[in-house]
Structures are given as structure tokens and as C-alpha cells.
Amino acid sequence: MRRYPLLPIAAAFAAGIAAAPYFYLTAAEQIGLLTAVVLGTAILLWKNRLGAVAITASVGLFLCGTFFAAADHHDAPPGSLPVLAAAGAVQPDQPLEIIGWARTPTKRRPGNESFDLEVEQIRQAGNWLPARGGIRVYYFPNADGPPSLSVAYGTRLLVSLSELRRPRNFLTPGSFDWEAYLRRQGIDFTARVRRPADLRALSGRRGNGWRAAIFDLRGRLLARIDQLYAEPKGGLSDHGAILKAMLLGDDDWLRPPVESAFQASGTYHILVVSGWNVFALAIPLLWLANRWRFPEWLTAGAVAAAVIGFALLAEGGAPVARAALMFLIYLLARFLYRDRAGLNSIAAAALLLLAMRPSDLRDPGFQLSFFAVLVLAAIAVPLVQWVATPYRQALRRPDDRNRDFLLRPRQQQFRNDVRVLLDYLFGRRKPAGRGRQELRTAFSWCVYGLFWVAEGLLFTAVVQMGLSLAMALHFHRLAWSGVFANLLVLPVASGMVMIGLPLLLLSLLWPAAAPLGAGVLGAIAAVLHWMVQTAASWDIL
């Protein structure tokens, strides 16, 4: 663990968060134990007992995890909606008026829309009360009203509501924890407005300028996709819905057959904005910057700006935040000429996210995203580099004997075996005719490509096996066809992410080029959809 010092630190901290519900201590007891652990660690360090120091430090980090988890589950502050409702000051099932501001703009879905309201004051039975908390407000358009309320971020509103409802889960074992999901977003109640007259805009604005700019740009990009991929009879085409989901994280417009095809093929992870999308955007940018020999500071700054911008624009939640943090840590280490260890980046991202919100440890998306990258970095990448990569590297220019001196003995032996096979099939290199030489070169490239395919299959198979238990526990689904489907689909999906956002941004700056860009992205989406449908039809256990 000396090469990955952050990994045991993150593990001990996460273990403390996980054990917090079964390890109750008062604040005084927590502080006393932490003080004793710190003093004991200092004494052991002074006596140069490094093994014991590691143990006491792990205990201290475990206690810190329980302390952070307890602080995250503290009682609601006075004046919050749950406290007012519990005290009887507010009757959720009675009509009431609320003054607040929209902390998210209107989010449209097929058949309804919603926005999140940050509460400032509540009036019920003629009395105004200061209050705080979040309410998710829904609106279901009808023939007599406008199709959308079009509430902008930061708008102050007076909202008349008939009732407030607490979020409730289905009682089916293993179903999605809707209550915890909304609680992590700061939502205490949900409500419904029946007509536009229930909302009245007030003077002044709340929020901050940069979030307003991000929401405005996101809304314009979503509207442009709606315009470019509208169906003749109304609604959004499947290709437009796929682009919305992959580029901007809006998966509400996907039709059930499309979602089912991605789920059955084991490729659903590419359909929703996750950590994979961040890497699909950042790695090609980094490669291009290195190819064009940009200065290191310019490369790091440009790629970091692209990663942060995409994470803010796509609203992908914990998986995107995790991937963005990991890549920013990697860029910082690269800029400072430090060893770029993947497991350290994963552990650092986990520590930061869990310190900010410990309850994320129980979120299925958080668990799957971190478990996926742990399997990838700790098992898949080392296994592929040990089993297949050396032999693929040995196949580059097999007739160039000078390269033999740059390789390891087993790679040199493999190159000699390949040369013997080539000599047997096509004759020796110098006497061979032009046609035989071309066949020899083509055969060499085919074998090189087969090793690329073997690496990809091994890589996806290890990741799929590593995630099988978590997928079965959280989503009751396991698709082994994903081992093969991801190998075909990921390159196409990566290309879509890489060129999709620049083309959409270009369509805002240069509207005349929008139809051409829409045609290119639509063609890529069509190919991707066809590949996924084909993979979903494979009968693989």
C-alpha cells in the first residue's frame, strides 16, 4: 500500500460511515476517543513504531467517518419544513401560500414538468411564518393551460398550493429509495400546481450568476435538440432522445423500447451521463493536446475547463462528480510531474465526496461508479497489461529486428515465433515478391488487430464479472451480452460524446450549420441504436 497511501485512508473513512448506524457515540465520546487516538498515534510515531501507527491512524479515520456520518444525519434545524410540520405550525394537507425562489429551472418531461422551490416564507390560516427547505413542484399541462410554466433559475415566486406531500417509497423490497434520493437533493416535500395562476413572479432574484449562465446554456442546448430532432407528428425522435441522454443527462424522453434495448444489451451505462462520458471527452482532448505539443500548463488548463464545464452542464450527479474529480487530480499530478496512480485518484475523489456528503455511500449510483473504477484500475488494467498488452506491443513492425533490443525476453521470443510463422506462410522478407510482401504485412496487421480485440474482450469481461453482484443486488439484472456489445458500442458512443457537444455549441453560434451537424449526429445515433438493438437480440446467458 505504500504506492497507494490514500486507498487505506479512504477505506477506513468509508468503513466508519458504513458502521455509524450501529456504532452510536455522543459528541463528547467521539471527541474523547479521537483525542486519545491522536495522542497515542503521536507517541507511537515518536517511538518509531510505524506498524502500530498505521493501526491507530486507521482507527482514527474510522472514528472520523462515524463522526461525519452522525453530523450528516443531524436533526432538522428550527424553522425547517419538517420541524414546522411536526410541531403543527404547518398543516401539509391544508391549502397554503409559499414565498421562495426557483433553485432549478423548469425541467420538462413527456406529460409534465417540475422545478425545485427554495422556501423563504409560508402563509397558512392568515399567518406568515419564516421557513426553510425544498419543495419539488410539479405541473401537468392540460388543454386549457400553457404547455410550460417556463420558470427560470433564481426567480422569486409566490406559489399557492392545495397541499404538500411527503416523498414515499414503494413497499416492494429492493425498489428504488425515492425518499433518500430526494433527501440528498434537499427536497422535503412535493406539491402540484394546477394552473399558471397559482404562480406569481415577485421582484428581485436569488442564486448566483454562474449557475444562471449554466442553466441558460443547458436550456438552449436542450431546446436546439428539440428543434432539430422533432418528429413530424410532434414529440422527439428516438435519435434526439439518445442525444439528450448521452450529451446532457436528460433521459426523461427515452421511450421504453429504447431503454429496454440498452438494458438488455448491457450498455445502459453509456445512455446516461456518468463517469464514462467524462473520460470519453477528456482523454481524446488530452491526446490531441499532446499530439499538437501544447504547453503543459495550457493542456492542463484547457482539459480541466472542458471537464468542469461538462460536469456542470450535464448535471450527472455523483458519477460525473467522481470522474471529474479523478481526472482533475490526474491533471494536477501530471502538471506537478508526480506519479499518476489510478487508485490514489479514486481514493482521493471518494474522500472528498464522502466528506462533503457521507450519505452518498449508500447511494447505488455512488457504489456502482466507485466499484466499477476500482475493478477497472485494480484488476482489469493490470490483468490486461500482464496477459495481452506485451504480446500486442511485440507485434509492432515484427520484421524490424532493431526493436527486439527494446523489448523484454518473452516479447523477443514471441516476435521470433511470429517471424518464423510469417516466413513459413509468405516466404522470407527479402526474397518475397511484392504480392507476398503485401500479404505478409496485411497478415501482421490482422494479428495485431486480433490482440487489440482480445484486450478489449478481456477488459470488458473482467469489469462485467466484477460488477455482476452489485448489478444483481441493486438492479436485479445481469446481461452477459455486454461483454461483446460494449466492445462494439463504446467506440461509436465515444465519438458521439467527443463531437456531439462541440457541434451543438456550434449550432447556437452558427445556426446555418445546424442541419448539417444534426445530420452527422443523427447518423451516429442511428448506428449506435442499431448496434444496441442487435446486441439486445443475442441470446447469451
The DSSP secondary structure of 337-389, one letter per residue, reads T----HHHHHHHHHHHHHHH-GGGGG-HHHHHHHHHHHHIIIIIHHHHHHHTH
What is the spatial distance between Cα 78 and Cα 151, in angstroms, rounded to a whole number?
29
- In tens, the pLDDT along 99-154 reads 999 999 999 888 889 999 999 999 987 788 899 989 999 999 876 767 788 899 99
**Contact criterion met (CB below 8 Å) for 277 and 252:** no
Checking if the pLDDT of 431 tops 60, the result is no
> Which of 144-148, 163-167, 290-294, 299-303 is modeled with the greatest confidence?
163-167
Checking if the pLDDT of 430 tops 60, the result is no
38 to 60, 63, 65, 180: CA distances (angstroms): 7, 11, 15, 34
- In tens, the pLDDT along 203-215 reads 888 988 888 998 9
Predicted confidence band of residue 190 (pLDDT cuts 50, 70, 90) = very high
Average pLDDT of span 175-188: 80
Average pLDDT of span 149-173: 87
Fill in the DSSP letter of residue 152: P
- CA angle (276 as vertex; 271, 278 as ends), nearest 5: 110
Lowest-pLDDT range of 130-144, 328-342, 401-415, 466-480: 466-480
Which helix H or strand E contains 186, and what residues bound it? none
Lowest-pLDDT range of 42-51, 431-440, 526-535: 431-440
What pLDDT is stored for residue 97 in this prediction? 92
What pLDDT is stored for residue 325 in this prediction? 81
- In tens, the pLDDT along 433-483 reads 556 677 777 777 888 778 877 777 777 777 777 666 666 665 666 666 666
Average pLDDT of span 49-60: 81
**Of 372, 361, 368, nearest to 180 (Cα)?**
361
What is the spatial distance between Cα 82 and Cα 187, in angstroms, rounded to a whole number?
10
What is the spatial distance between Cα 307 and Cα 212, in angstroms, rounded to a whole number?
19
Task: For the chain, give the mean pLDDT.
Answer: 81
**Of 96, 156, 103, 101, nearest to 122 (Cα)?**
96
Average pLDDT of span 517-529: 89
Instruction: Report if pTM > 0.85.
Output: no
333 vs 158, higher pLDDT:
158
What pLDDT is stored for residue 160 in this prediction? 92
Checking if the pLDDT of 348 tops 90, the result is no
What is the spatial distance between Cα 541 and Cα 474, in angstroms, rounded to a whole number?
19
